[in-house]
Amino acid sequence: MFGIFDKIEEFFKEFLLGGIQANLESMFLDINDKVGAIATDVGKTPMGWNGQVFSFIKSINDSVIIPIAGLIITAVLCIELINMVMQKNNMHDTDTFDFFKYIIKMWIAVWLVSHAFEFSMAVFDVAQHMVNKAGVINTSATVSGNQIVAMIDSLKDKGLGELVMILFETSLIKVAIQVISIVIMLVVYGRMFEIYIYSSVSAIPFATMGNKEWGQIGTNYIKGLFAIGLQGLFLMVCLGIYAVLVKTIKITDIHTSTFTILGYAVLLGLMMLKSGTLAKSVLNAH
């Protein structure tokens, strides 16, 4: 009779230990795969991330934004011409070289507007080069399966009640880490969406750079453009720091290990959410 109860207890123990092991593998192994996939996405250019979206954004720029930018640059150049004439006492003191400078300025302004989209893409090509150079950062937060098995073996002497609590604890932490993984994924995808939207209207702020007063619009836009590119490097640094921290976890006590991995995942999510703000603050972009 007592042997039957022992068999039942052993069955429930095996069931609980199997659930705990599945939760630990999800926390320590699945998150590593997601971090690696995110690191790959961060290193892609806008064209490499999704070619169809890139083509759509380029067509928007060519068919919608360029004509609007043409109107803006026409207004800006007219204002510049009026200011140049009025500053020279209604052309009484006008130097011929001033018109030559105006023509050069006009040509440069038109060239910038017509190549604004290519310039924006060049910024992200440079950003991708920085991210690829940062590829030396090890973004693999590897915890071996043997370590997890050893942790499970240490739980075999626990009672059923304690195993139920550990299963409940690891299940909650597993769900929390999965939520954080979704947040991290949204940060990376949101950055790509921001790149596409930001680049699609590049011709408009570039059209304002020919005027001293309006030129601040174009200057702030360029700062923001470089800030989004720099954000990619910051994301890679965050992933690298997370990987190093995970490797330093001592896989001994299950409670300490699981809550430590949760803390590191929360920190990773928070820092990735702040990466855009940090990049803009570095470049003083608004």
Could you read off the pLDDT of 156-169 as tens digits, one per residue?
667 777 777 877 88
Please classify residue 217 by burial: count the beta carbons closer than 10 Å to its beta carbon, then call 0-12 exposed, 13-18 middle and 19+ buried.
Answer: middle
CB distance 220 to 285 below 8 Å: yes
pTM for the model: 0.76
DSSP state of 62: I
Measured between alpha carbons, how far is 281 from 193 in angstroms, rounded to an integer? 20
Q: Do 184 and 38 contact (CB within 8 A), yes or no?
A: yes
Q: Answer yes or no: are the C-beta atoms of 35 and 242 closer than 8 Å.
A: yes
pLDDT computed for residue 11 by the predictor: 65
Task: Let me know if 235 is exposed, middle or buried by CB neighbors in 10 A (0-12, 13-18, 19+).
Answer: buried
Average pLDDT, integer, range 141-150:
62
Residue 24: name the closest of 260, 267, 269 by CA.
260
Percent share of the chain, pLDDT over 90: 0
pLDDT, residue 136, reads 47
pLDDT digits (tens, 9 = 90+) for 19-55: 777 777 777 666 666 676 777 777 777 887 878 888 8
Asked if residue 137 has pLDDT above 60, the reply is no
155, with CB counted inside 10 A (0-12, 13-18, 19+), is middle
Whether 227 and 277 have beta carbons less than 8 Å apart is answered as: no
